[in-house]
């Protein structure tokens, strides 16, 4: 930690408002400063809690620039430490350029200490990520043109056409102009928009609305300053966003859902809930606290029956985040209103089934196919002697649901697949073609679907990309669809086994980069990975274990003897023989995991990683 130089001016980013969001270095300079300049309304008083009692403090909100420069240069030339605080980060709308030029003219040294911008405090308040996979990888920080003009080539209308995330500073008083320019840029009236007032301050306020409503909302809230306007795909609550490839955008990662959570509120409902609890494995029953003693016997109390203490809404939301399925013996309206804020997508949400207290009807409410709510409703109806209510179109048309077929076989649809569009075409009798990778057999499960044609997708399959098609493939065809796959879907079998050899201590990111490089070079999709495989000696390799955990890929290990058993089918490695006494690691591990004798990609050697790929025998 370097000493703080005296005779110098420090431009310090004080952060967005929360006094704990100033950097450690910035806080240390404030504690030791002889003279402190700051804008009173923009920097919280708590920032100065540890400042020296004899430090001179000047509120610059009413001081002209020349006077501010005098105060800073005078103290610095006297050998003092000067702290000049700016809200957020000084480099973003901090107006420090004029001050730096003035100090240079006076031969006064200065240093800039970065800070946390209110743009990031606003994202934290909104609980969003600006850079969503395949939606926006760009964040624009800008302002509307007002008293301070904006270069014409940077006008909001043109910037907004990128449809990326945009944080608009200093413009809440210009909201009519902002709305007009966003509309001219092509944003529909129902596009999501948010305004964060005094992000991270104690009086922080958030307004969420649409392009059409936000102006009236701001007027009603009387907000016209100290606010950020946020426009971003991340604000769309109905979005179906692919996972980041950092955590397995290959539709993996995250803790697996487990168990069935049953909710019942009234005595008749609780009696039905107990019946279901006794007949379902790995189930737990949630009931009002007052009923726990009456309805839970000594054997199950505290083990499978739990009290609802803070309201049914909170309890439902908590279980929704981790359970595999929810059975709600209550009015559907309660369930819908409680779960609406935590809904994600049909690819991720658990099954939700709603019942009446008599069990006459079991309604599949959410995640009918992928989540399994349709199947659960049918099973519950068998238990209660009632009727399952299934409303998904494919089921009512007698068509095998593609998402259920995929789930049952461990296959994965690309997140941008237009599965509703494909199913709609099938239901309405429009022709849909199934293209199957030339390295894969036609799956028996997919032959029950009334395809117009089943065709082979050859190695040059890019030319085949079309709507009204499903692609059963190992290839990364998603690059051919710049946006949503209208009327098309890509389905990946979990068929590729990746053998990995690595030096001790290799970081997970380096291993992943090697795998990504190999797959990109052969046009393969990471979504088609079944597992990673290596030698038993690597069972405790931190980078390999961390990568498997983060991506959700299965990690398999094979003994030295097992690797030796396939020595005739692999390229031998003198280094592996010397270090481990085995013919190689990556190639034999890939073959053993695939139960195959043929490699799809022979080993590729990187600095610290070796990668080989095989195709599982049953999928070859």
What pLDDT digit, counting tens, does each position of 141-174 carry?
A: 999 988 888 998 999 999 999 999 999 999 999 9
Tell me the H-state helices in 411-454: 419-427
Backbone angles phi, psi at 141, to 5 degrees: -105, 120
Greatest pairwise CA separation for the chain in angstroms: 90
Q: Residue 302: helix, strand or coil by DSSP?
A: coil
- CATH 3.40.1010.10 placement within the chain: 8-115
What's the whole-number average pLDDT of the chain?
87
Computed on alpha carbons and rounded to an integer, the radius of gyration of the chain in Å comes to 30
- Rounded to an integer, what is the distance from CA 173 to the centroid of its chain? 32
The pLDDT tens digits for 592-604 are: 999 988 899 999 9
Under the banding of pLDDT at 50, 70 and 90, the label for residue 396 is: low
Q: Pull the structure tokens for residue 275.
A: 């019946």
- CATH 3.30.950.10 placement within the chain: 119-235
Tell whether pTM > 0.85.
Answer: no
- Rounded to an integer, what is the distance from CA 491 to the centroid of its chain? 21
Return the closest-CA partner of residue 559 out of 518, 589, 597, 587.
589
- CATH 3.40.50.11220 placement within the chain: 260-386
Token pair 């013996």 in the structure block, residue: 329
Q: Pull the structure tokens for residue 56.
A: 């001179």
User: Rounded distance, CA 51 to CA 53, Å?
Assistant: 6
What is the predicted pLDDT for the residue at 88? 96
Backbone angles phi, psi at 413, to 5 degrees: -80, 140
The pLDDT tens digits for 188-216 are: 888 999 999 999 998 899 999 999 999 99
Backbone angles phi, psi at 607, to 5 degrees: -55, -50
What is the predicted pLDDT for the residue at 483? 60
Asked: is 119-235 a CATH 3.30.950.10 domain? The reply is yes
Q: Residue 488: helix, strand or coil by DSSP?
A: strand
Under the banding of pLDDT at 50, 70 and 90, the label for residue 321 is: confident
Backbone angles phi, psi at 383, to 5 degrees: -70, -40
The pLDDT tens digits for 556-587 are: 999 999 999 988 888 898 888 888 888 999 99
Under the banding of pLDDT at 50, 70 and 90, the label for residue 486 is: confident
Whether residue 239 is predicted with pLDDT greater than 60 in this model: the reply is no
Under the banding of pLDDT at 50, 70 and 90, the label for residue 220 is: confident
The H or E element spanning position 321 is: helix 312-322
Token pair 């049918």 in the structure block, residue: 378
User: Rounded distance, CA 86 to CA 620, Å?
Assistant: 62
CB-CB contact of 125 with 196 (8 Å): yes
Other Cβ atoms within 10 Å of 438 Cβ, number: 13
User: Rounded distance, CA 604 to CA 517, Å?
Assistant: 10
Q: Residues 227-239: what's their mean pLDDT?
A: 82
Q: Residues 261-270: what's their mean pLDDT?
A: 93
CB-CB contact of 198 with 204 (8 Å): yes
- Topology of the domain comprising 260-386: Rossmann fold (3.40.50)
The pLDDT tens digits for 37-94 are: 999 889 999 999 999 999 999 999 889 999 999 999 999 999 999 999 999 999 999 9
Q: Residue 174: helix, strand or coil by DSSP?
A: helix
Under the banding of pLDDT at 50, 70 and 90, the label for residue 459 is: low
- Please, what CATH class does the domain formed by 496-619 belong to? alpha beta
Return the closest-CA partner of residue 465 out of 489, 449, 492.
489
Q: Residues 130-146: what's their mean pLDDT?
A: 89
Under the banding of pLDDT at 50, 70 and 90, the label for residue 395 is: low
The H or E element spanning position 497 is: strand 496-502
User: Rounded distance, CA 507 to CA 352, Å?
Assistant: 40
Whether residue 251 is predicted with pLDDT greater than 50 in this model: the reply is no
The pLDDT tens digits for 12-28 are: 999 999 999 999 999 99
Q: Please give the share of the chain, as a percent, with pLDDT higher than 90.
A: 55
One-letter-per-residue 3-state SS of 528-579: HEEEEEEEHHHCCCHHHHHHHHHHCCEEEEECHHHHHHCHHHCCCCHHHHHH
CB-CB contact of 571 with 589 (8 Å): no
What is the residue-wise DSSP string for 103-115?
HHHTT--EEEE--
Cross-sheet strand order for the sheet of 35-38: 56-59, 35-38, 81-86, 8-13, 110-113
Whether residue 371 is predicted with pLDDT greater than 90 in this model: the reply is no
CB-CB contact of 181 with 231 (8 Å): no
CB-CB contact of 560 with 536 (8 Å): yes
Whether residue 297 is predicted with pLDDT greater than 60 in this model: the reply is no
CB-CB contact of 610 with 604 (8 Å): yes
What is the predicted pLDDT for the residue at 424? 79
Nearby residues of 447 by Cβ (< 8 Å), 6 or more positions away: 454
Whether residue 465 is predicted with pLDDT greater than 90 in this model: the reply is no
Q: Pull the structure tokens for residue 296.
A: 């839970």
- CATH 3.30.420.180 placement within the chain: 496-619
What is the residue-wise DSSP string for 144-173?
--SSS---GGG-HHHHHTT-SEEEEES-GG
What is the predicted pLDDT for the residue at 126? 93
Return the closest-CA partner of residue 397 out of 471, 472, 449.
449
Asked: is 8-115 a CATH 2.120.10.30 domain? The reply is no
Q: Pull the structure tokens for residue 254.
A: 């995250």
Return the closest-CA partner of residue 118 out of 82, 64, 172.
172
Whether residue 227 is predicted with pLDDT greater than 60 in this model: the reply is yes
Q: CA-CA distances (angstroms) from residue 145 to 92, 152, 227?
A: 16, 9, 16
Q: Where is pLDDT greater, at 344 or 317?
A: 317
What is the predicted pLDDT for the residue at 476? 85
Nearby residues of 256 by Cβ (< 8 Å), 6 or more positions away: none
CB-CB contact of 126 with 25 (8 Å): no
The pLDDT tens digits for 498-553 are: 999 999 999 999 999 999 999 988 889 999 999 999 999 999 999 999 999 888 89
Under the banding of pLDDT at 50, 70 and 90, the label for residue 343 is: confident
């Amino acid at each position: 930690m370097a000493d703080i130089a005296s005779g110098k001016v420090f431009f310090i980013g004080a952060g967005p408002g929360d006094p704990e969001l100033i950097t450690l270095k910035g806080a240390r300079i404030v504690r030791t400063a002889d003279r402190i300049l700051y804008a009173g309304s923009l920097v919280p008083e708590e920032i100065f809690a540890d400042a020296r009692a004899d430090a001179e403090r000047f509120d610059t909100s009413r001081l002209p620039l020349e006077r501010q420069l005098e105060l800073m240069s005078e103290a610095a030339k006297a050998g003092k430490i000067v702290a000049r605080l700016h809200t957020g980060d000084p480099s973003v709308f901090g107006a420090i350029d004029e001050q730096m030029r003035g100090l240079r003219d006076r031969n006064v040294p200065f240093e800039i200490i970065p800070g946390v911008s209110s743009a990031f405090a606003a994202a934290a308040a909104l609980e969003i990520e600006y850079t969503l996979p395949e939606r926006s990888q760009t964040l624009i920080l800008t302002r509307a043109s007002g008293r301070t003009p904006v270069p014409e080539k940077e006008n909001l209308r043109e910037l907004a056409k990128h449809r990326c995330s945009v944080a608009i500073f200093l413009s809440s008083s210009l909201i009519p102009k902002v709305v007009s320019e966003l509309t001219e840029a092509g944003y529909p009236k129902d596009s999501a928009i948010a305004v964060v007032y005094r992000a991270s301050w104690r009086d922080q306020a958030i307004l969420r609305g649409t392009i059409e409503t936000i102006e009236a909302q701001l007027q009603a809230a009387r907000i016209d300053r100290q606010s950020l306007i946020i426009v971003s795909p991340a604000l769309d609550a109905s979005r179906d966003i692919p996972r980041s490839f950092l955590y397995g955008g290959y539709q993996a990662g995250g803790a697996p859902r487990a168990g069935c959570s049953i909710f019942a509120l009234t005595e008749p409902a609780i009696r039905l809930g107990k019946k279901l609890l006794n007949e379902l494995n790995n189930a737990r029953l949630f009931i009002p606290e007052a009923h726990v003693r009456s309805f839970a016997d000594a054997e199950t109390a505290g083990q499978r029956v739990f009290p609802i203490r803070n309201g049914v809404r909170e309890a439902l939301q908590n279980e929704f985040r981790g359970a595999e399925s929810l059975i709600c013996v209550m009015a559907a309206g309660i369930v819908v209103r409680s779960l609406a804020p935590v809904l994600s997508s049909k690819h991720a949400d658990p099954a939700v089934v709603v019942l009446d207290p008599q069990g006459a009807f079991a309604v599949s409410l959410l995640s009918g196919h992928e989540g399994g709510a349709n199947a659960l409703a049918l099973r519950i109806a068998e238990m209660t002697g009632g009727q399952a209510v299934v409303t998904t179109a494919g089921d009512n048309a007698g068509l095998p649901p593609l998402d259920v077929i995929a789930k049952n076989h461990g296959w994965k649809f690309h997140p941008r697949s237009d599965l509703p569009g494909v199913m709609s075409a099938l239901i309405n009798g429009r022709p849909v073609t199934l293209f199957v990778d030339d390295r894969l057999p036609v799956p028996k499960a997919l032959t029950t679907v009334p395809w117009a044609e089943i065709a082979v997708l050859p190695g040059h399959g890019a030319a085949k990309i079309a709507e009204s098609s499903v692609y059963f493939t190992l290839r990364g065809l998603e690059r051919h669809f710049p946006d949503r796959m209208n009327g098309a879907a890509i389905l990946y079998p979990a068929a590729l086994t990746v053998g990995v050899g690595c030096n001790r201590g290799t970081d997970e990111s380096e291993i992943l980069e090697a795998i990504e490089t190999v797959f990109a070079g052969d046009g393969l999709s990471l979504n088609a990975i079944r597992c990673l495989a290596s030698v038993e000696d690597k069972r405790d390799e931190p980078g390999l274990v961390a990568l498997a955990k983060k991506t959700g890929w299965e990690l398999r290990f094979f003994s030295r003897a097992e690797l030796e058993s396939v020595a005739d089918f692999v390229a031998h490695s003198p280094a592996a023989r010397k270090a481990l006494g085995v013919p190689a690691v990556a190639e034999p591990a890939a073959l053993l995991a695939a139960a195959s004798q043929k490699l799809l990609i022979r080993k590729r050697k990187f600095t610290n990683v070796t990668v080989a790929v095989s195709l599982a025998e049953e999928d070859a």
